[in-house]
Amino acid sequence: MDMQSEIIEIGLAADDGYFPGLFLTAASIAASARGESMLRFNIIDGGIEKNNLEALKDKIREVHPKSIVRVIAFKPLPIKARGPAMAYARLCFPDSIPDVEHLIYCDVDFYWTLDVAEVWARRSSDFAMQAVIDIESSRESEAKWLAERGIRVDVDRYFCSGFSLMNLRLFRTRDIVGKCLRFLERHLDVPLYDQTALNAILLLEDKGVGELPRSWEKYAIEVMDADFAAPMALHFVSICPWKKRYAITDIVDYWHRLYAEYRGLKRPGEIWYSRSRYIVGRLIFIFFSSIWPARKLILLYVYVKYGRKAQQYAAQTIRRIKCPKTACQGC
């Protein structure tokens, strides 16, 4: 059997400031992998402390012994572009791992219960990238920006590149990274960094983008109670829970409870907040939601309302993590 088909290739990138997100994303991917899948984590290192990297390697191998961790030094792309250099690390993979043909790429603000082997089975030799169609609010904002610049793409197919299957062979043969770099040089005000560039380039190419199931990627701001029962990649997009000193929603609290369990901490508060800060965070939320425009208030109401099952589900998930039965769905 070809080595490429034997190993599931996973791509992640972070610096030390994003290490907590990287840790939970990678550990949950490994923990959710079923059966005898061999995983290789290709991690672009933008300055992660050595002790943190070792802790990550140990945890990945603990929860999924058939795992390999390959650390790749980050080399900034030769462009002048908006935002930090690490925001474009996804575009470094085609050249950084020339021995890899397909890659499951994931941002480091995720928590996985989806079996990575199920995603890997959907990889295609036809499409340069396979991804989930983005939520309506993102498509609307991007459509306006693209239209103002005369870039005519089908925004109904606009995808979120934070979770995707990348065909690195096609990226190399079609010079997709080069096209994105030239696009970014022309448009220094891109709203969503390389995601904007990838959409602008790939949506205009024949078989540039293939669609993955929307049920696989759920945004924390839109998650419903029923969603917790289904395997998914839960995306904490724009939230960065590890940077929140005050928990204004249960979904943020959920992330921290899971992170504490994986890191072996006695309680979530060891890394970020006391119970009093949790209460203060709720008061801050109530104050600001009362003075913000109605549309934001409605969004924030939904954000909290559908996060109220998070603590209960966190307890179920932690029991499932601890349970030695692979197929256990919570005792």
| Token pair belonging to 37 | 């899948």
CB 103 within 8 A of CB 166: yes
Residue 128 and residue 130: Cα distance in Å, rounded? 7
pLDDT tens over the chain, length 331 residues:
333 447 999 999 999 999 999 999 999 999 999 878 899 999 999 999 999 999 999 999 999 999 999 999 999 999 888 889 999 999 999 999 999 999 999 999 999 999 999 999 999 999 999 999 998 888 998 999 999 999 999 999 999 999 999 999 999 999 999 999 999 999 999 999 999 999 999 999 988 999 999 999 999 877 766 677 889 999 998 888 888 665 556 677 788 888 888 888 765 544 444 556 556 665 665 565 555 555 555 555 554 554 444 455 555 555 554 443 444 444 4
Helix/strand/coil for 317: helix
CB 171 within 8 A of CB 208: no
Third-level CATH fold of 3-211: Spore Coat Polysaccharide Biosynthesis Protein SpsA; Chain A (3.90.550)
How far is CA 279 from each of CA 141, 245, 267, 296, rounded to the nearest angstrom? 33, 11, 17, 21
Instruction: Provide the pLDDT for residue 327.
Output: 40
Neighbours of 301 (CB within 10 A): 11
CB 124 within 8 A of CB 210: yes
Domain residue ranges of the chain, discontinuous segments joined by +: 3-211, 244-322
pTM of the complete model: 0.82
Which strands, in side-by-side order, build the sheet including 7-14? 67-73, 38-45, 7-14, 102-106, 159-167, 129-133, 209-211
Which residues, 6 or more positions from 45, have their beta carbon under 8 angstroms from its beta carbon? 14, 15, 53, 71, 72, 73, 74
Phi, psi of 72 (to 5 degrees): -120, 125
